[in-house]
Structure 1
Amino acid sequence: MSPPLIPLGVDRRAVLTRRIRLLVGVTIGYNVVEAVVALSAGTAAGSTALIGFGLDSIIEVSSAAAVAWQFAGRDSHAREKTALRVIAISFFALAAWVTVSSFRSLTGGAEASHSTIGLSLAALSLAVMPGLSYAQRRAGRELNSRTAVADSKQTLLCTYLSGILLIGLTMNSLFGWTWADPMAALAIAAVALKEGRDTWRGETCCTPPPPAKSATTSLTPLSPPPTTVTCTNACCGPVK
């Protein structure tokens, strides 16, 4: 049986909680703007990919809002299960939408026209989202918050969609390859489905926080180090 986790210090936990709240706020604000721009540009260009990207932004807002709701309470862990359910459902919704829109495009949906706004938005999101995802994942792992880590995966998935959207719009504009985007998007849908399943089961991996340094550490240099807890999920790893 694994030994109990040694909790973070009160000050460090407060810092990490504030950091997650800030990152979630930035994520919500950016995705609201992204959704408005993508849906408007997608409607104007007749682009299913752009409209799907805008809907993904709305789903990302719901996921981040679930994390914000969790950390707004005094006991964030008491709200964790509900927040995880909301994030999992958002993954399922994203997978469903991308799958349906991809098959519609492959089976003769309306061909999208060139969209400079769409290309610019995809490139900007590809630059912004990885940093947000990394910062939230790092803070979430140290705080041992499954919801923060799960939401960081949602943000990372948005990064993949940004890349797919950018490639699809570029190939469509340059070569008229209308099939490139929906084929790649189907792979993203499969990833979203897996992440939703793992999140629903509570298998989002977190690295347990390191033991706090004891005031007597310097007095007993030859004492054995405290036992650490190893996460059982294969995707777990050290906080980098």
Structure 2
Amino acid sequence: MTIERFWTASVEELKQGFIYEKASGHYTCLLCQERFEEGVIYPIDGTLYEAKKAIVFHVNRAHGSMFEHLLAMGKKYTGLSEHQKELLRYFKQGLSDKEIVAELNGGSTSTIRNHRFKFKEKEKQAKVFLAIMGLLKDEKNVGDDEFIDIHSGATMVDERYAITVMERDKVLETYFQNGRLKTFPSKEKRKIIVLQYILNRFEPDKIYTEKEVNQILSSIYEDFATIRRYLIEYGFMDRNKDGSQYWIKN
């Protein structure tokens, strides 16, 4: 799924916006799942591109700056305030401390220098933390106490999302039989587990009509309207204003 590829990507892959899957020989966009097969030549706007150059062109044209895309992610993912994001945009533009003060219509150059210093310290801490977590993963296999991934569209991340592999498997065994949902749970954590499992019935890069969504959901649970509503409410799926189109929320 989209979220799995995104969160398991390396820092360099997140910066470039795509990954290379050696087993299949595909370059895959982390934002929309568009794929380009190695060895195939792609004609784009009258120019022929090899797969790697084609995916770079695609990311730039379809999604713009990865810097802006990552910066636009919520605070729960970036840990950044709106003011910090604004400063980072100015730093990206190469503005001097004095120029940034002028853009902000206030403050001082010493304050901007202090922000630069804090960002550098934050970068160092992030590197050390990534190394620690990398070593932790190297030394243990994914077990029953490992947490499952949180979907990127989650509206509010709290203790409801602290779900282990064991909890997920137990809930799915309890609530599903022969691929159908026996009853929709009332507890929030169980709802999330069930909804995330149901989401696997949908393709990440496909647009669905409401009728198609209803057909898929009715094959799982008779009260498909309730499931559809919660998929939207919990940020698993999104739809346009008139409800004629649905898609997995990246």
- Classify the TM-score, shorter chain: under 0.3
Of structures 1 and 2, the one with the larger relative CO (CA 8 A, separation 6+) is 1
Instruction: Report the TM-score, using the length of structure 1 for normalisation.
Output: 0.23
Greater share of residues in helix: 1
Greater share of residues in strand: 2
Look at both structures and tell me which one has the larger radius of gyration over its CA atoms.
Answer: 2
